[in-house]
Structure 1
Amino acid sequence: MEYLLALAADPAAWIALATLIAMEVVLGIDNLIFISILTNRLPEDQRSRGRRIGISLALILRLGLLGTVAFIVQLTEPIFAAFGHGFSWRDLILIAGGLFLVWKATKEIHHNVDPDPGPDMFDDKGGSIGFGAAIGQILLLDLVFSVDSIITAVGMTEHIPIMVIAVVVAVTVMLVAADPLANFIARNPTVVMLALGFLLMIGMTLIAEGFGAHVPKGYIYAAMAFSALIEGLNILARRSRQRAH
């Protein structure tokens, strides 16, 4: 209790908490886009439940990983070297997650542009993926993003309570934003392609980081924000034309 009271009275702890919450929310955007796109392929009556379960699993995973911080930190230690780079377990997890994202985004883009996608594409009810399969894929990406998130948090503060509060707040924001974001994506088909492009970029970034190439996150999110702004202007222009007609 004295430890928590000392943290509460420390201005540096509050600054670290605010910074970490902001970082966790931004990092959660990647996860939320993937969850939104994937759950939109479920039957309509299962989508909201799928999002809640997926985001809840992200919270459980991150809190569980926080309990093994000492082990998580060791994931950054190189286990073998290749191509002049020492690969750690974190690198391998990022590469695997990036490859999965690239594969998944490419498959979804193919489904959206193929005029005759076959039985794997959306059925008349809007869903073409099993609930268990969707949750399994969400859990896999939750693991990748959670490991990266926790390692980044450890680099910013050594206080576990600060990390726990930041994770809970960030996941709560994801829960609140999940349905509105998914519904917006479902109502605007062009946004689906934009979001899939984001997933491709995120996947390639994860692969690059796994191979030791540092990609500043600010550049990635600035590009995403600019693209989203342009798409927002396109949506407003289309609505204006529709009202004119």
Structure 2
Amino acid sequence: MPEIFGDLFTLSGFMTFLMLLLLQAVLGFDNLLYIAIESKRVGEKAPMVRRWGIGLAMLFRIVLLIIIVSLFGVLAEPLFSIGIPRVLDGEFTLQSLVTLLGGGFIIYTAVKEITHLLTVDEFGHKEGGDKKSVTQAILLIVAMNLVFSFDSILSAMAIANVKETVDGVVETRYQLTIMTVAILASGIAMMLMADYVAEFIRRNRMYEVLGLFILFLVGVLLVTEGAHLAHMHIFTFPIDAMSKSSFYLVVGVLVITDIISTNFQRRLWAQREAELLKMRNLEEAAKYRNDG
């Protein structure tokens, strides 16, 4: 057995691998939602776009993992700073910039799709807004996957590491093999789940709005996290990152509210149809008596 796989085949390594899979599953939901919404713009080629997008993103995520582990200290170095007294100031790193810009783009995408749903005349036509080519859709999926990767990779590094003493000095060794296998496993799971998520959204159009608002919240989460990493202050007020617990609480409330609202609307429509049917039957009975 090669030494590089040694960590994976130990009890502690296997438990770390399971924790990373759980982490990828939790953090990968928003990514999967974005993929489902973005891929529908290419029409019948959407399943192929999802497979290629996830496959390429998985490979680039592994490359990004290796780069971050190798250059972790460099990525934390400030690139530039902005200092406008009592208006705006911050110190931006590569990580904070990617997180900020990625979150902003996701907010833009969600708002544009919501606006399209409010202005479209016929839901059966021009579904998904502006059409995109296969290449454009794949590139967007890969790019946004890499944006989501920063958070998941840094979280994985906090889990998959061991302390080793070398020449009396304690050093941190990151378990790269375990993280790589976890990324591959989560990528395969996303490929298997992507079509089901996209099909569910297609068949249940009422939940598409819910998905877009969740995507909007994901953008807000990333923007606040990027601003927090850059230590941004606007009008002397610091911007704090939206906590993951708050994010999942809001998403949970949105989902429960939407499910209850949808079921209530269905009951109202069923009651309305029953009343209309009853009135129609009464009218036909009265007409029959009058004719008789």
> Is the Cα–Cα contact under 8 Å of residues 116 and 129 in structure 2 kept in the other structure?
no
> Is the Cα–Cα contact under 8 Å of residues 41 and 128 in structure 2 kept in the other structure?
no
Matched, 1:96 2:101: yes
Distance 1:197 1:175 in 2: 23
Aligned to 2:195: 179
Aligned to 1:113: 118
Paired residues, what number? Answer: 240
Q: Which has the higher helix share?
A: 1
Query: Aligned to 2:42, what secondary structure does the other structure show?
Result: coil
TM-score scaled by structure 2? 0.73
Q: CA RMSD in A?
A: 2.6
Deviation at 1:130, TM superposition (A): 2.1
Deviation at 1:125, TM superposition (A): 10
Deviation at 1:103, TM superposition (A): 0.9
Q: Deviations over 1:64-113 (max 9, x none)?
A: 12232212553223223334543210000001101111111111111110
Aligned to 2:256: 229
Task: Say which structure, 1 or 2, has more relative contact order (CA 8 Å, 6+ apart).
Answer: 1
Matched, 1:77 2:104: no
> Is the Cα–Cα contact under 8 Å of residues 40 and 127 in structure 1 kept in the other structure?
no
Distance 1:169 1:3 in 2: 18
Distance 2:7 2:115 in 1: 55
Matched, 1:219 2:246: yes
Gap regions ≥5 residues in structure 1: none
Gap regions ≥5 residues in structure 2: 83-87, 161-173, 229-239, 274-292
CA distance 1:103–1:66, change in 2 (3 Å): same
Mapping of residues 15-94 of structure 1, within 5 Å: 15-43=15-43, 45-68=44-67, 69-72=69-72, 74-82=74-82, 83-94=88-99
CA distance 1:126–1:18, change in 2 (3 Å): same
Distance 2:243 2:9 in 1: 32
- Identity, % of aligned positions: 29
Deviation at 1:15, TM superposition (A): 2.5
Q: Which has the higher strand share?
A: 2
The one of 138, 162, 166 aligned to 2:182: 166
Distance 2:207 2:249 in 1: 17
> Is the Cα–Cα contact under 8 Å of residues 101 and 203 in structure 1 kept in the other structure?
yes
Distance 2:112 2:204 in 1: 19
CA distance 1:126–1:107, change in 2 (3 Å): closer
Q: Counterpart amino acid of 2:215?
A: L
